[in-house]
Amino acid sequence: MPLLRSSSSSSSPPALVIFALAIGAFAIGTTEFATMSLLPYFAKDLGIDAPTAGHVISAYALGVVVGAPLLTVVAARMARRTLLLWLMAMFTVFNGLCAFAPNYQWMLALRFLSGLPHGAYFGIGALVVVSLVPLSKRTQAVGRMFLGLTVATIIGVPFANWLGHVVGWRWGFGLVALAGGLTIVMLARLAPYAPPEPGASPLKELGALKHAQVWLTLGVGAVGFGGMFCIYTYLADTLLEVTRASPTMVAVVLGIFGLGLTAGNLIVPWFADRAQLKTAGGLLLWSAATALLFIVSAGNIWTLSLNVFLIGMGGALGTVLQTRLMDVAQDAQGLAAALNHSAFNFANALGPLLGGMAIAAGYGWTSTGWVASLLALGGFFLLLVSVALEKSRKR
């Protein structure tokens, strides 16, 4: 069933509401990715080694996977603006407390709690933004909200890392809490209020899980997106060991990846609003091809930088699948939209795992390109199954 516009109304221009939601996305993107770059600092301060500190990153991802469906279902009867404010309040408080974590155990627990609102915020936020624009521009609206996430990889993460280096890692989490607080203020003033949907209930939201198309779309993201995370996770090592780039250039190339993500979310949604499934398929094939180019481009900093930008553009798949899930979930759109981020965090675990296995087996740093390409093709196969099933149902 196509997604219908909500009956919510707001005196604020839609662009300002989307901007407020994007600030929250910026805060979430910063804490998710900056924790990786702050790992050496808090590992030393908390008296743990790097592998142990890595569990802190995994705890956040686990929080996203658990929190996305749990919070969305439990709060099914809550008005969307109210739920967004509570989600961002949780996010702000727990990230702020991370700045005061006295030991590893507290840090681990607080990172798990910080991840709980992540998926639900994006899922409910997506429902709000599409209620403010015409149906022909809904993917573009979701893409503009997601720009906060992509801009975080260009500005928020480097700045948090700089803070960690200059004044201490705790200030990086303080920055995130500040952005979260700003989001709360902006949403309270700008976000439209609409009463809960008639008949809304936890059981109704759980109804999304009975639709095969929801599971197939989640599978496309969980598998197809794993390739991008596979390459990104080992990109710094590839730059140092294969490209022989300087540590300074590593930061530059990671920023170029963020530019690619941003460009993709600016350009691709326009096509998705006109041909959703073709755009999703094209992005998966794009990701498979650019991953193969990674293998041959890694030896030169210029070719690799261009390739990394192109790989980043494929990240717009998340925006396209966000809208697709809201379409196929019928009247349980909240849970489906939130589960999109559970799927991508699964991809964030699957891609690096398989890439690490290929590297450990002796295939070299560039073997992540082969793994990433196969994962993208796996996602494309699941999309073909989804399309075939949909055509069969219509017949």
* DSSP secondary structure, 317-347, as one string: HHHHHHHHHHHHTTT-HHHHHHHHHHHHHHH
Q: Which residue has the tokens 């075939």?
A: 388
Looking at the fold, whether 280 and 171 belong to one and the same domain comes out as: no
Looking at the fold, whether 225 and 174 belong to one and the same domain comes out as: no
Measuring CA to CA, how many Å separate 362 from each of 229, 275, 300, 357, 368?
A: 20, 42, 22, 9, 12
What is the per-residue pLDDT for 198?
Answer: 67
For residue 189, with 0-12 CB atoms within 10 Å meaning exposed, 13-18 middle and 19 or more buried, which class applies?
exposed
> Residue 210's CB: how many other CB atoms inside 10 A?
10
Which of these three, 200, 224, 243, is where a domain ends? 200
> Residue 67's CB: how many other CB atoms inside 10 A?
25
Segments of the chain with pLDDT less than 50: 1-9
- Determine the 3-state secondary structure of 191 from DSSP: coil
- How far is Cα 201 from Cα 75, in angstroms, rounded to an integer? 8
Which of these three, 181, 200, 219, is where a domain ends? 200
Which of these three, 200, 218, 242, is where a domain ends? 200
Looking at the fold, whether 212 and 230 belong to one and the same domain comes out as: yes
Looking at the fold, whether 214 and 271 belong to one and the same domain comes out as: yes
Question: For 59-81, how does the pLDDT look when each residue is reduced to its tens digit (9 = 90+)?
Answer: 888 898 889 888 888 887 888 89
Question: For 168-199, how does the pLDDT look when each residue is reduced to its tens digit (9 = 90+)?
Answer: 889 989 999 999 999 999 999 998 887 777 66
What sign for the dihedral angle of Cα 377, 382, 387, 391?
Answer: positive
Looking at the fold, whether 42 and 171 belong to one and the same domain comes out as: yes
Structural domains counted in the chain:
2
Residue-number span of the structural domain to which 46 is assigned? 1-200
Specify the CATH number for the domain of residue 113: 1.20.1250.20
What is the per-residue pLDDT for 5?
Answer: 42
pTM confidence score: 0.84
Q: Where are the beta strands (DSSP E) in the chain?
A: none
- Angle, in degrees to the nearest 10, between helices 104-130 and 14-46: 170
Looking at the fold, whether 272 and 312 belong to one and the same domain comes out as: yes
Looking at the fold, whether 70 and 110 belong to one and the same domain comes out as: yes
What is the per-residue pLDDT for 8?
Answer: 46
Looking at the fold, whether 37 and 143 belong to one and the same domain comes out as: yes
